[in-house]
Structure 1
């Protein structure tokens, strides 16, 4: 579905991503894992088009369609292709209602239906009861649900979540895990997470890509993410 080859990124003169290779297969859940500052969010922003890459390639291909080069496409165009995104800051409109936020997400993606699909409220039943409440009045857990629902209203083929467990409650993390498993394994949605909470990763992901200082140092099935690897790359004193 998405193939990254030799992706390099710079912030000014700082080389932040070094020759990243990543393959996202249709129907799998893949996790970008690593300590804070290792390049997870930067790589996500490169995929969504919010950061440019210096060199390399990003090729998008859906079943039955020709390959598409993502490089020249804007973030909005990538959304219309089928890439949904929930950033760390959620980016909801605090002065608008839940339903108005969802309608704006539809309009931004070029949808002209003017109504929120019942499927969205079926996925997020608590939002239906809150649909007239302003975003700023929601709890942190419900704000995340709304951000996720805004990404889902366009029926993405690939859903990207940046640090989804950050700042939400333990009970919501469990419900979020249930939802991602349903989306991935029952509906077949391809998912990419940038995350560092290992129990959550091991519960929901099929594959991992481990970043360290902007480099991809390991990848494979989640079962390969053993204690030796975690100790080597996921402790603050890691210097390998």
Structure 2
């Protein structure tokens, strides 16, 4: 479905991503794992189109279809192809209601007039009584659910989440995990997480890609995340 080869990215003169390779298979949940500052957010922004790729390739290919070079497409065109992205800052419309946010997402995703299925409230029932409440008036956890719902109403083929558990309480984290498992296993949605919370990763992900200083240093099935890898690449450096 998605294939990255030798992807490089710079911030000015600083080399951030170093020849990153990554393959996402349909229907799997893959986690980009790594400590803060190792390139996870930069990589998902490159995939979504919000950061430039200096060299390398990113190709998208649906079943029985030809490969498409994503680097030639702006973010809205990538979204229209079925790539939905929920960044850390959520990017909801704070002065619009929950329902209006979902309607706008539908229109932006080329899903007709903006009339959305009630299935989204089956996935996130806490949003249903908040339909006429403005985004600014709901809690941070509810805002994240709204951002996720806005991504899902477009019926994406690939859902990208950047640090979804950051700042979350255990209750909403559990609900998010249940939601992702249901989407991944029952609906077959392909998911890419940029994440560092290990219990959550072990619960929802099938595969991992471990980034360290912008390099892909290990990848494989989640059950291959052993103590050696975690101690080597997931232990923060001690302050001098």
TM range (shorter): over 0.9
**Stretches of structure 2 lacking an aligned partner (at least 5 in a row):** none
Matches within 5 A, 1:77-226: 77-226=77-226
SS at 2:36 equivalent: coil
Q: What are structure 1's unaligned runs of at least 5 residues? A: none
Partner of residue 230, structure 1: 230
Partners of 1:92 and 1:130 in 2: CA distance = 14
Q: CA deviation at 1:104?
A: 1.2
CA drift of 1:219 comes to 0.4
Write the deviation string for residues 148-197 of structure 1: whole angstroms up to 9, x where unpaired: 00000110000000000011211100111011000001110000000000
CA contact (8 A) 2:104 2:114 kept: no
Q: CA deviation at 1:115?
A: 1.1
User: In the alignment, is the contact (CA less than 8 A) between 1:140 and 1:167 conserved in 2?
Assistant: no
Match in the other structure for 2:15 = 15
The alpha-carbon deviation at position 65 of structure 1 amounts to 1.5
Q: Distance in 2 between matches of 1:171 and 1:153?
A: 23
C-alpha displacement of 1:109: 2.0
Secondary structure of 1:117's aligned partner: coil
CA RMSD across the alignment: 1.0
**Correspondence 1:37 to 2:43:** no
Partner Cα separation in structure 2 for residue 140 and residue 170 of structure 1: 14
Per-residue Cα deviation, 1:30-60 (whole angstroms, up to 9, x for no partner): 0000000000000000000000100000010
Q: Quote how far apart the aligned CAs of 1:93 are.
A: 1.0
Q: Which residue of 1 aligns with 2:2?
A: 2
How many angstroms does 1:105 deviate by?
A: 1.1
Q: 2-side partners of 1:170 and 1:121: how far apart?
A: 21
Cα distance in structure 1, aligned partners of 2:63 and 2:155: 16
Scaled by the length of structure 2, what TM-score is found? 0.97
